[in-house]
Structure 1
Amino acid sequence: MSSLENVLAPSVDDGSIPGVVAAVERGRELEVVVLGGTGPGGPPLRRDSIFRIASISKPITAVAAMALVEDGTIRLDEPVDRLLPELADRRVLRSDTAEPTDTVPAPRPITVEDLLTFRSGLGVPPLAPGTLPWQRAYAEARLGGDGPPGSHPVPPPDEWARRLGTLPLLAPPGERWLYHTGADALGVLLARVAGASLGALLTERVLGPLGMVDTGFTVPVGKRHRFQPEWRAGTVFDPVDGQWARPPEFESGGGGLVSTLDDLLAFARMLRRGGDPVLRPETVAAMTYDRLTEEQRAGAGIFLDGSGWGLGMAVEADGRYGWDGGLGTSWRNDPARDLTGILLTQVMWPDPAGSAVTHSFWKAVG
């Protein structure tokens, strides 16, 4: 048994997770571990098992956005008003505790960069869910992001944008890091500029060039035998024939993708080795440095746990970058050590800080 197996096996043996597929790549040396099964008494996992990657969708969406920035289709500094007129002429909530109608004018428009850095004024701060007036308004709008991916149906993109436009910003653009919603708004913007679905754009600009053949917003019938049920507190949260068995009305750039170990390895290698064939090295460098102030990092609370944020992904103090999926997945690149780590499970995390197996995995990776 390898050292990585020794670290992961106890979580499978004690029933914390039904199974795990993981990899650590150092330079050209790759170690892959596949343990456990789809659930209690279920068939064993495979290297090509398909998992819901949840918020690891965010970096993939961000890479597609930066590909369009490179070719001049969009600019980082341009207001989103041209493609998301629903977000023009924004107003800002006077305080976190204010009613949604108690607002002041935003000092400037939201930019594309604001969506990528999660400083658009849209999102979910680290507060108890459902306790404040704006949180109740957000939940009633059914925009997603106020619960795990797949918690409830989300409306089609145009209706989603319309509903979002009825809500105030929680902070002026550029001022505060707020989780999730910027990535979904970015997905709607990208689809509009491409004149296609977000899935089609991702396939054209990212998934296709990298050979990520099992990554998408739905799992076709022919691949469903490799798809995993999603578990939460010992029960199935979403079955194999559940929400990912049919194309969604809303393709969530913030949390809607499924993928496999080898697809994510292809994505991670692309970034680790300078972006080819999707991005230029200078674009990867621009995405993977921390753009937050100390105050913004502190205000992010448990979501970032002291890390920073670049364009669509976390950036840690030691230079590692990547992100996690709350449905049980985690990915980081470490450019200083030419290292990639990927952990895929089918058990929802108990909170944004992760799970015991996540912490064990990254402690072992070092």
Structure 2
Amino acid sequence: MTRSLRQCLRDYLAERRIRRNRLVTKDGHCNIEYGNIKYSSHFTYLLDFWTTFVEIRWRYVTFLFVASFTLSWFIFGLIWYWIARSNGDLKWQNPQSGHISCVDNVEGLTTAFLYSLETQTTIGYGGRAITPHCPGAVALIIIQSLIGAIINCFWCGVVMTKIALPKKRAKTISFSEMAVICPKKDTLCLQIRVANLRKTLMIGSQIYGKLLKTTVTAEGETVIMDQINIDFMVDAGKDNLFFICPLTLYHVIDKSSPFYEIAVDTMHQLAFELVVFLDGTAESTSSSCQVRTSYIPQEIMWGYNFLPIISRSKEGKYRVDFSNFSKVVPVPTAHCASCFHNDKGHHLHDRRGTANPGFEVINIDDPPNGTRM
């Protein structure tokens, strides 16, 4: 029992360390921190205030929403109080009989605040109303009405923009938890799976990858987060994907690939991160969005292939079974890319893979060592 608790604790700490060290999390957030920024640079956020308001968290938007309206009501309430005091309308000023007020029934700070709120929100209970005998009050009610309309329009725009952000559409794009390396059409390929959970298409979808690692140049310079392009493709090509059902994307590991020198027994000892990007335009909103995820060496399974998930019913309809989305099965695979190209019989596993004849899902029992993600 104690050993199992220690093992769970070690696994938790190791997972936490891996999560902290990765640049891009599995859900696409960038784990990067900016430091030593000049104080004057913070004013650039005020200059681009619209983007700042759209990108801040909802709790700050809610606070600023309430604060802006409450503050404007209070400021204009003070101005109405000042106008009433200047005209001698307040109750403690003991106005004479027949005195004409600028605003009826504004007799103190509280009633001035209530009149400001009723004016800006166009409530108008009827107990307090402006009279035409004070030009300053007439001008003030026009100014407050205009400013109130501007505040309403601004916050309506912010809320609608935040609700319609393309990042929300990206939440319905799912990547497989693991990547696999296995043969495909006489080539060794790194494969990942991506699915669109909505029936609406992503128009003009393009997918590509970046391999991030620390390299040392010939001059002895250490380059942190050196970016190497990784091309992904499907059987129909790599541009303008027909993203109507889950796709299995693959990268060919040949002599030009940065994975060519990696072997099954050395991969987990390396330090790199494969970041995968999918760009597209939502069909329903015509807004472009980008989905990101990343894979570290511990999330790449050598010698495995994804289970088929597309089947065809007797009525001729296509069906996607997402229960097999991240399931894998062992397949015969060479120990390294050079072994694959030089000796096709040098395999890590000696078990047959899984076919999918007629687009039918085949139920396969999980292997003893567990391949279910």
**TM, length-normalised to structure 2:** 0.21
Higher-strand-fraction structure:
2
Largest Rg, 1 or 2: 2
Which structure exhibits the higher relative contact order, with contacts defined as CA atoms closer than 8 Å and separated by 6 or more residues? 1
**TM, length-normalised to structure 1:** 0.22
